[in-house]
Each structure stands twice: as C-alpha cells, then as structure tokens.
Amino acid sequence: GENVEQHPSTLSVQEGDSAVIKCTYSDSASNYFPWYKQELGKRPQLIIDIRSNVGEKKDQRIAVTLNKTAKHFSLHITETQPEDSAVYFCAGKQRYSTLTFGKGTMLLVSP
C-alpha cells in the first residue's frame, strides 16, 4: 500500500518568514495529494490539494508543488502569521482508494 513520509516533524519560524513542509510517497499510482491544517483540539481541514496532472497550485499565501518523477510534494507558506501555527498533514491517494496521511508537522510561528 501507499506510504507517505513527512518532514520535518516540527518547524519554528519567525512571523513573516516562509515555511516549507515536504512529503514523499511510495505508490506511483497515487494521483491526489491534499494538505490539511489542524488547530489545537480541532478537526483537520483541507487547505489546498493538487492532482497528478498539475505541477503547482497556489492559493494566496500557500502553494503546493508536485514532482511525480521523484514522488514528492511540498507545501509552501509565505509571509507566515501567528495564526498559521498548527499541525499540517499531507496525504496521498489513489482513485477509489483510501487517503494515507503523513505523521504531521507542527508549525510554530513566533511574533
């Protein structure tokens, strides 16, 4: 089955800096890669996703890049703000299959 590795496990940045979280996946058949943000004590919520026919997707301060050849994808957050502090999960999925999550990255943005 699919295996998703996520790095780093924790990331501390200063407000205004950029943050990058990287994930690798094992199954070349995976074609859908969402990113979820989970604030403390709350449910994970989708922030951005990318499909395998696209190399990059951007939504305001967040962007995701996908390298199918290398089987890795990354989340980029620019101009970080304290409210970006949360746990971020990447995931990979094949069509008609289940989502496999990475172990999460705790992002701390200091004012």
Partner 1 sequence: DGGITQSPKYLFRKEGQNVTLSCEQNLNHDAMYWYRQDPGQGLRLIYYSQIVNDFQKGDIAEGYSVSREKKESFPLTVTSAQKNPTAFYLCASTHLGIGDTEAFFGQGTRLTVV
- List contacts with partner 1 (CB under 8 A): 6, 9, 31-32, 34, 42-46, 49, 51, 89, 91, 93, 95-96, 98-104
φ, ψ (nearest 5 deg) of residue 83: -70, -5
Largest pairwise CA distance in the chain:
43
With tokens 């409210």, the residue in question is: 83
Report the nearest approach of partner 1 to the CB of residue 110 (Å). Answer: 21
| CB closer to partner 1 out of 52 and 65 | 52
| CB closer to partner 1 out of 45 and 81 | 45
Report the nearest approach of partner 1 to the CB of residue 60 (Å). Answer: 18
> Do residues 75 and 48 touch, judged by C-beta distance below 8 A?
yes
Please name the residues in contact with 42: beta carbons below 8 A apart, sequence gap of 6 or more: none
| CB closer to partner 1 out of 50 and 77 | 50
Report the nearest approach of partner 1 to the CB of residue 27 (Å). Answer: 14
The token pair at 62 is 């967040």
